[in-house]
Amino acid sequence: MQTTLIDQGLNLMLYGMGTVFVFLTVLVFATGAMSAMVRRLAPESDAALLRDNDKASSNDNIDEKVRAAIKLAITEHRRR
């Protein structure tokens, strides 16, 4: 039996869409696996550790006038 042009077009469309779907599915799983591997194998960066330490120590070193000025500036900014 001879296939029509419409049948060939639909066949090509389904083949193409199936290929893209499979590729994107593999890509999602590969990205998730790589993210899990990096989280497990890579140590926490030094910048994040320093930033956490600076937060704890910097709050103690702020003068009360500076703290009040920062609070006022934040309040003014939120009002706009």
d(CA 80, CA 75): 9
Report pLDDT for 62: 81
Which are the contacts of 29, defined by CB distance < 8 A and separation ≥ 6? none
Q: What is the mean pLDDT of each run of 10 residues along the chain (80 residues)?
A: 88 98 99 94 71 60 89 94
The ranges assigned to domains in the chain are 1-42, 45-80
- Closest by CA to 28, choosing from 38, 20, 17, 18, is 20
The DSSP secondary structure of 16-54, one letter per residue, reads HHHHHHHHHHHHHHHHHHHHHHHHHHSPPPHHHHHHHHH
